[in-house]
Amino acid sequence: MADERSDFIRDIIEDDLRTGKHGGRVLTRFPPEPNGYLHIGHAKSICLNFGIAQQYGTRCNLRFDDTNPVKEDTEYVESIQRDIEWLGFSFGGTALYASDYFEEMYQLAEGLIADGKAYVCELTDEQIKEYRGTLSEPGRPSPWRDRPIEDSLALFRKMRSGALPDGACVLRAKIDMAAANMKMRDPLLYRIRHAHHHRTGDAWCIYPMYDYAHPLSDAIEGITHSICTLEFENNRELYDWALEHTRVAEKHGFTRPQQIEFARLNLDYTVMSKRKLLTLVKDGHVRGWDDPRMPTIAGMRRRGYSPEAIRALAELVGVAKTNSVVDIGKLEFCVRDDLNRTAPRVMGVLRPLKLVVTSYEAGAAGGAQTFDAPYFPPDVGKPGSRPVPMSRELWIERDDFALEPPEGYQRLAPGRTVRLRHGHCVTFEDAVVEGGEVVEVRVRHLPETLGANPQGVKVSGVIHWVSAAHAIDAEVRLYDRLFAVPRPEDAEGDFVQNLTPGSLEVIRGAKLEPSLATAAPGSRWQLERVGYFVLDAVDSQPGAIVLNRISTLREAAPARAVEAAPAEPREKNAKAKTRPAKRSPAEYRAEARARDEALAAAFDRLQRVHGLSEGDADLLTGERAVAEMIEGAIAAGAAPDAAARWLVNDPSFGKAPYAMTPANLAAFVALPLAGPAAKEVFAKMRAEGGDPRQIAAAAGLDQAADDGVVGKLVDDVIAAHPDKVAQYRGGKVGLLGFFVGQVVKASAGKASPPRVQELLKERL
C-alpha cells in the first residue's frame, strides 16, 4: 500500500504517534452487537478499523458487545465472523466478548459505589424518566441518590445474587442531574435482567449498560483509538467519566483510550437500519438476510460483489464527520471496475430468438465449426480461451433484431450485416413473423470474415449468440435496486411502500454457451453485452444453473433509460420538530445587559463616547470581564477602535479568561506590529499575560526586517520557483499569495507582508 490515503482519524493517530501519547501503540477494535447481520455500513467501519491496524502493523480486536442478552444470539456471532473474514480481514481467529469482562466490570462498579460515585436507585423506569428532566429543563436528584454507601453496596450485591426481580432497581452513576448533556444526568450502569445469555448462560442476572461496558472493555484491552459513529458524540463525556473514575486503563497498565466519531455510511436507494432490514426479512419482502438485493454483507456476497469491490467503496468514500448520503452509483462503479478486470467473458442469451444461418449445412450438427474465443479482451490482458461451437441454428437476443430499427440501432435489421461475436459476419435474408411477432430470423454468413472485415459492406454492430444445438439452459435472476426512491426512509408512511415493484425478475429459458456447464458456484462471469453474473452459491446445481445478475454493463447514452429522480423537498424528521428553540449568544448578551446596569452603561459609552459600532459594543458588553478589558484599555490610552478590533476578532473570544491586563492591551495596540507577528504577540499576551513589548522582543519580532534582507529573500524565492514564476507571468496572478507566503515564511514572520508584496510586484 504505497499511497495510503489519510483522513482526520489517521491524522490524530499520526499526531499521537509523534507525541508518544500512547507510548507509540495503536490498537483499534470493531465492536458489533450480535443482534443482526452486518451490512455495507459496517463494512466501512470494518475497513477503517482493520485498515488502520494493517497500516500500523498492529491488530484490530473483534469484540462482541454482548451486554443485552435478550437481543443477542450466536447465529449473529457466527455470521459476523464469517462476514469479516470474507471481507479479507483477520482478527487472529479469536473473537473477544464484552461478556468476558463482566466480573471485572462488576468489581469496578463496586469500587465506584465505595467511592461514592454510584448508587442503587429504586425509582421505577417511569420515575427515572420523569426525574431526568428534559432537554431544556434540569433534572431532579433521585431520592436514593444520597443513601449510605453500605446500603448501595448491599443492594448491588443483592441485585447480583438474583434475589431481586427485573426492574426492581438499577445501579446509577452519581454525576450531575442538572448537566446540559443528558447522558450525564446520573446514567444507568447496571440493570437486572433474568435472561439467558448466549455465552455466560445464567451466570449473571445483572448486565452492564453500553455506556459503562464499552469504555471499560476498550480500556481492558488496551485500545488506543476507539472509533465509532457520530451519534455517540454525546456519549463521549460519559465514556471519559467511566475511564477516569474507575481508573481501569491504569490498572491494566495502559493509557486511556480516546473515542473518535466519524460519519456512518449511508447509501441512497437503500435502507440501513437493523430494524428496517429485519422488517424486510420478516415480512417476506426479500428472501432472507442474504437476499442479493439486501445491503447486508451476506446479501452482497450472494449477489456476487467481491470483497475487493466493497473495500474499494470504503476507500472511495473516505472518512469524515459530515453526514452524507453516498450515491449508490459509486458502489456500482466499484463493482464493475473490479469485475471488468476479473470476470472472464462468455456468451449467453437471456431472451432467445432463433437465428438460422442458411448458408450453413442443415442437420443437427449443422456443419459445426468451433471458434477459439479468448476469455478476456486485449485491454484486460489476461490469458485463457475456450472453444465456442457454431452451427446452423443459433440463439440471439430478442432485442438484437428489429424489423424497424430505431435511430442509432447498432444491431441486426432487414438489409443489414452484423458480426457474430468471435465468428463471422452475417447478412439479413428474411424474418419469419407469426401473429405479429418475429419468431425466426434468417441470415447468410460471409465466409471470409473471420478476423477480417468484409469488403464494401458496412458492419452494423456486433451481437452475441449461442449455438442452439450446444446451448445449456439456465435460470437467470435479474436484480434491480430494492427501493425506487433515493431516500426510502424519508417519505412519510411506511418505508416498504417505496420498494421497487419488480426488483427481482426471473428468466427461465436463458441459453448459455456450453463452456459454462462446468462453472463453479460462486464464480463470476461477464455475459458479453449483457452484464456481470454469478452462479448462485445456494441454488445453482450442475445441470441446473442459476445465475444472479451482479450488475448490468455500463450503458452508453442511446440505450439508457432516462430515469428522472425529481428532488423532492426533504421533510424535517419527526424528532427535529420536537426540539426546543435555542437562544443565540446575542440574546444572552442582551439579557446580561438588562440584568446588569454596568454592562448597559458600558454598551452606551462605547458607542457614544468612544465611537464604536453598535455591533462591536454589543459583543464587548456581554460580560463584565470583557467590558472591563475594553474600557480599561481605553482608559490606559488605547485607541478604542484598535483595542476593540483585537478583542472582537480574538479566536479565544468568550472561551477563556484573559490573562492580560487592560494596560497590557493598551501597550499592545500602541506597538508598530503587523501581520502574523502581531497575532503571535497578541495570542501569547492574551493566554499568559505580560508586557507585549517584552514578548515581542523575546520573540525577535519587535523590528521588521529591512528592505535589503527582504529583497534578498524575494530574490531567493523567485529563483527557487521558476515554474511558478512562469505561470505567474503567464497570467496566473493568484500565485502572488503563494510568493508572499514563501517570503514571509522564510523571514520567520519578520517581513512586512505589504512591503513584500510591493517588492514581488516589482520583480516579477
Is 362 or 382 the residue whose CB approaches RNA more closely? 382
Is 117 or 345 the residue whose CB approaches RNA more closely? 345
Is 333 or 539 the residue whose CB approaches RNA more closely? 333
Is 399 or 475 the residue whose CB approaches RNA more closely? 399
- Consecutive H or E run containing 369: strand 369-374
Is 142 or 664 the residue whose CB approaches RNA more closely? 142
φ/ψ of 577, rounded to 5, equals -65, -30
**Residue 435 beta carbon to RNA: minimum distance, rounded to whole angstroms:** 25
Question: Looking at 33, 104, 440, 489, which residue is catalytic?
Answer: 33
- Consecutive H or E run containing 370: strand 369-374
Is 263 or 365 the residue whose CB approaches RNA more closely? 263
**Residue 641 beta carbon to RNA: minimum distance, rounded to whole angstroms:** 9
Beta-carbon neighbour count of residue 349 at 10 Å?
A: 27
Instruction: Return the closest-CA partner of residue 300 out of 482, 52, 564, 71.
Output: 482
Is 89 or 232 the residue whose CB approaches RNA more closely? 232
Burial letters for 241-252: b for 16+ Cβ neighbours within 10 Å, e otherwise? Answer: bbbebbebbeee
Contact 546, 536 (CB under 8 A): yes
Alpha-carbon distances of 484 from 43, 266, 327, 566, 627, rounded to whole Å: 24, 16, 14, 12, 59
**Residue 513 beta carbon to RNA: minimum distance, rounded to whole angstroms:** 14
Is 143 or 167 the residue whose CB approaches RNA more closely? 167
Question: Looking at 274, 287, 398, 645, which residue is catalytic?
Answer: 274
Beta-carbon neighbour count of residue 662 at 10 Å?
A: 19
**Residue 457 beta carbon to RNA: minimum distance, rounded to whole angstroms:** 14
Beta-carbon neighbour count of residue 7 at 10 Å?
A: 15
Instruction: Return the closest-CA partner of residue 408 out of 280, 556, 620.
Output: 556
DSSP 55-91: HTT--EEEEE----TTT--HHHHHHHHHHHHHTT---
> Is there a catalytic annotation at residue 274?
yes
**Residue 684 beta carbon to RNA: minimum distance, rounded to whole angstroms:** 15
Alpha-carbon gap, residue 534 to 199, rounded angstroms: 37
Question: Looking at 140, 264, 330, 398, which residue is catalytic?
Answer: 264
Cα torsion for 111, 189, 213, 184, to the nearest 10°? Answer: -100
Is 286 or 466 the residue whose CB approaches RNA more closely? 466
User: β-strands 417-420, 425-434: how paired?
Assistant: antiparallel
Is 637 or 654 the residue whose CB approaches RNA more closely? 654
**Residue 189 beta carbon to RNA: minimum distance, rounded to whole angstroms:** 9
DSSP letter (8 states) at residue 214:
H
**Residue 238 beta carbon to RNA: minimum distance, rounded to whole angstroms:** 9
**Residue 489 beta carbon to RNA: minimum distance, rounded to whole angstroms:** 10
> Is there a catalytic annotation at residue 33?
yes
User: Rounded to the nearest 10 degrees, what angle do helices 707-720 and 735-746 cross at?
Assistant: 120
Cα 565 to chain centroid distance, Å, stands at: 23
Cell numbers standing for residue 512: 448459455
Cα 364 to chain centroid distance, Å, stands at: 57
Q: CB within 8 A of 697, min separation 6: which ones?
A: none
Is 458 or 508 the residue whose CB approaches RNA more closely? 458
Residue with cell 453474473: 533
HEC secondary structure over 572-593:
CCHHHHHCCCCCCHHHHHHHHH
**Residue 686 beta carbon to RNA: minimum distance, rounded to whole angstroms:** 12
Alpha-carbon gap, residue 292 to 299, rounded angstroms: 4
Alpha-carbon gap, residue 455 to 199, rounded angstroms: 76
Contact 225, 239 (CB under 8 A): no
Is 287 or 721 the residue whose CB approaches RNA more closely? 721
**Residue 541 beta carbon to RNA: minimum distance, rounded to whole angstroms:** 27
Alpha-carbon gap, residue 282 to 503, rounded angstroms: 18
Alpha-carbon gap, residue 48 to 9, rounded angstroms: 9
**Residue 253 beta carbon to RNA: minimum distance, rounded to whole angstroms:** 26
DSSP letter (8 states) at residue 520:
P
**Residue 582 beta carbon to RNA: minimum distance, rounded to whole angstroms:** 5
Cα 294 to chain centroid distance, Å, stands at: 18
Q: CB within 8 A of 297, min separation 6: which ones?
A: 37, 38, 39, 40, 42, 43, 83, 86, 87, 310
Instruction: Return the closest-CA partner of residue 692 out of 701, 294, 430.
Output: 701
Question: What is the side-by-side strand order in the sheet with 96-97?
Answer: 28-30, 60-64, 96-97
DSSP 16-36: HHHHTTTTT---EEE---SSS
DSSP letter (8 states) at residue 471:
-
Beta-carbon neighbour count of residue 444 at 10 Å?
A: 18
Is 372 or 434 the residue whose CB approaches RNA more closely? 372
> Is there a catalytic annotation at residue 174?
no
Active site residues: 33, 264, 274
